[in-house]
Amino acid sequence: MIRVHCIYIFILIVCFTLDIQVYGRVLNKNDTYKSRQQTINDLLLNESFETPGAFPPAGWTYVNGIADAYWEQNNYYAYHEEHSARAHQGYASDYQADEWLLTPPIDFDDRNDLSLVFFGFSSSAPDGVRENMRIMAVDQAYENTTDLHNHAELIEVIPFTSDWEEYIVDLSNLSGEKHLAFHYYVTAQDQTSFNWIYIDYVRIGPFAIHTLTMEYPAGAGNTNPPAGQHEYTEDLVVELLATPDYGWDFSHWEGDVIEPLQMLTFIQMDEDKSVKAHFVPLEPTPTPFYEDFLGVATGNIPVGWTRSHINWGAWPTNNAEGERPEMRFHWNPAQDDELLRLTSRPINAVHESSLTLSFKHFVNDFMGLYLLKVQSSTDTINWENEWVLYMKSAEQNPDKIPERSEGKNHGPENVSVNLDHLAGKEKFYISFVFEGNNSHINSWFIDDLLISGDEDFFKVNFQVTCMIEDTPLPDVLITFDENDQQLITNLYGQAQIMLKPGHYTAYLDKEGYQTKEKSFEVIDSEMNVGIAMEPVEYLHNLIINVNMKDAIFGEEQIVFDPQEGHSVYISGNFTGEWPIPGEDPEMQLHPRDENPNIYTNTIALTEGLYEYKYFVVINNIPGWDHGEWEGEPNRQVEITGPLVVSDIWGDYPLNAPNHPSFNILVYPNPAGKRVFIDSSAQISQVIIMDAYGRVVARKQGNKKHIAIGTAHLPAGFYILQVQTRLGTTSQKIQIIGNGHWH
């Protein structure tokens, strides 16, 4: 059995060879193997539990062996599209389960190349036997659990985790006609608690396997999957996570990954691949050190911080009475470890003679026996308690250390901790720790962490935007005339710093934008500084596609054939003068891998109206002789943002700009989890692009009403493009952010 850690965090991946969409916990993809049509045709089973209200699916059966424990269709968690199959184990069943979900009969005779491939997820994993899924084979669909237990053959026991993962089960030893069974089996001896367990996207067939080689990282850190070789099914999109060690920061991925500069990225297994993570030493941040988790995406932690468990992550609330978001420790998923730690980046207090830590916090508690701690360390090995909150009853706290009432929420509260023994240190760390193994805690919220000396400091919040589109600008470098600290804006164009009262000048730099200066004065309170940067030249990506199937050119009516030395060029007034076809290699179009009849190129253009036409060049000899037609009209396209144009060679255009002759309605705007589009023309495709022209969401269809998911997108401004047979139109939309983390 091969287990593959797959997509749980939220991103859209777009390739010309494969369209993949990720919505929350859903990988919304027509078929993982759709670019391998032969594989699809060879599938003996392909089930995603999508027919509403039809459960079990046609040909499937299920047997529920214990009251209040059962298989059902579910639309809360899904890997593929909208639904999955869920096995429910509840209180009334005394946390037991004996639930069987059986496939239709499968003929295994003369087939030694078959595997069962499916995705699994447990809402309470990892915590022992209750996450196990037993894969069984049985000669007929018996209607009671007694016969099933007596006749079923165990193939494999699979321990599910709290992430969707792909599981591959070898079926080469089976023969004859069999039903496969997903058996969720929990007895009283297992002493488990309430749980749900899910399966989705179940397939049986021959599957090609590719190897991903995870090289040992450069620098100090680790990866998931770990170093070594891992086998994945063909075309699967696999999640890669790089985690730096204390005092180190992630630099980049080396290899064919989707986002090489992101710690969490993805790779498509369309062939054998190799990747390597690079880490760099992290310079300590000088005091005053401040973190209010502004701009940290839901479920993530700030750059340079580390966490021992995914239980720590930003959350869009303000329970601690700071501004949204705040840092949250959450018990789900449960962990057996006694210490669940969140650690700051290294801090430099070499210039301080005294030092104080302050923070806000709030505990959402049912009742329980556990400790909440703040600890410090200069080496991340030896930790000292700086503050402890005993979540215990008085009789278990004989020293009468301050405690809170059992079973009640605590706070919100402002905490101040003396750190004078760390003053003058060149490097130390602060860690927030949950100690214990008790599910009675719901959440611990932390915000507005400040470490400073005796002087007064005030927070300055920067919001940097693009002057043209009024969209946030990430990765802007901010430096100061009298301060050696450097800031870099986050994904939302935000950065913050603690400054003493006085006059300051901030210098902003970003590639492609004019350098900006901003003077301001810090007086006696927190302040906000808004800065708009102007692009040096604002460019949009125009993706050009032309279909050359059955294309004919020239007076001789020559049939286009690349084997005869024919190539495709585009010429137009993109840079003023029309270049002679064949002279500028950047104007050549190249066939797409998945459809060699489609020739494509991407051109970066400023806003405006452009004319163009396609030409065939023979044997690389430049010339105007082989255009789509003689003379005008030329094709026209109006650029107002990122755009995709799909043409057919020789399809004579109207002499008019590409203004669509149809109406659309886009709502809501601003949007949360999804955007709806109503059109007077049939919609073939909807695309959402970010400020850089990158496609971040895509939905295909053939209807006049389409909904496209946006819950995975960070808050900000985007371009929504609607494509129909009557033309293409684009407009700006705002996403207010509704990502979820569990």
Q: Number of folded domains in the chain? A: 6
The answer to whether residue 228 is domain-embedded is yes
Nearest to 305 by CA among 260, 347, 265: 347
> What's the confidence (pLDDT) of residue 366?
64
pLDDT in tens, 162-190: 778 889 999 999 999 999 999 998 887 77
Question: What sign does the CA torsion over 23, 24, 26, 27 have?
Answer: positive
Beta bridge partners of 242: 223
Residues 101-118, mean pLDDT to the nearest whole number: 92
Q: Are 307 and 440 found together in one domain? A: yes
Residue 110 lies in a domain: yes
Question: Do residues 526 and 584 share a domain?
Answer: no
Q: Which of the pair, 58 or 76, is modelled with greater confidence?
A: 58
Q: What is the DSSP letter of 345?
A: P
Distance CA 131, CA 185 (A): 9
Give yes or no: residues 295 and 440 share one domain. Answer: yes
Same domain, 432 and 546: no
Instruction: Report if residue 549 sits inside a domain.
Output: yes
Q: Are residues 633 and 513 in the same domain?
A: no
Q: DSSP 3-state helix, strand, coil percentages of the chain (rounded to 5)? A: 5, 50, 45
Query: Are 147 and 200 part of one and the same domain?
Result: yes
- Please identify which residue in the block is written with the tokens 């000048």: 505
**pLDDT at position 333, please?**
63
Would you state the pLDDT for residue 69? 82
Q: What is the CATH number of the domain that holds 683?
A: 2.60.40.1930
| Residue 396 reports pLDDT greater than 80 | no
Q: What is the mean pLDDT of residues 110-121?
A: 90
Q: 151, 181, 205: which is the final residue of a domain? A: 205
Confidence of residue 22 (pLDDT cuts 50, 70, 90): very low
218: containing domain: 209-279
Decide which of 616, 648, 680 is a domain's last residue.
648
- 312 and 228 fall within a common domain: no
Task: Say yes or no: 518 and 413 in one domain.
Answer: no
- Round to the nearest angstrom and report the end-to-end CA distance of the chain: 27
Same domain assignment for residues 319 and 435: yes
Cis ω before 56 (30° cut-off from 0): yes
pLDDT for 192-213, tens place per residue? Answer: 777 788 999 999 999 888 899 9
**Residue 135, beta-bridge partner list:** 156, 182
Residues 224 and 311 in one domain: no
| Residue 130 is assigned to a structural domain of this protein | yes
d(CA 89, CA 66): 9
Please check whether residue 4 lies inside any domain of the structure: no
User: Do 161 and 119 share a domain, yes or no?
Assistant: yes
CATH of the domain at 590: 2.60.40.10
Separation of alpha carbons 714 and 324, rounded Å: 14
* Alpha helix stretches (DSSP H) within 126-207: 145-151
* Shared-domain flag, residues 448 and 376: yes
In the chain, the amino acid numbered 156 is E
- What is the secondary structure of 258-312 as a DSSP string? S-TT-SEEEEE-SS-EEEEEEEEEPPPEESSEEE--TTPPTT---TT-EESSTTE
CATH code of 406's domain = 2.60.120.200
Query: Residue 364 forms beta bridges with which residues?
Result: 443
Q: Give the H/E segment covering residue 38.
A: helix 37-41
Q: Are 269 and 2 in contact (CB under 8 A)?
A: no
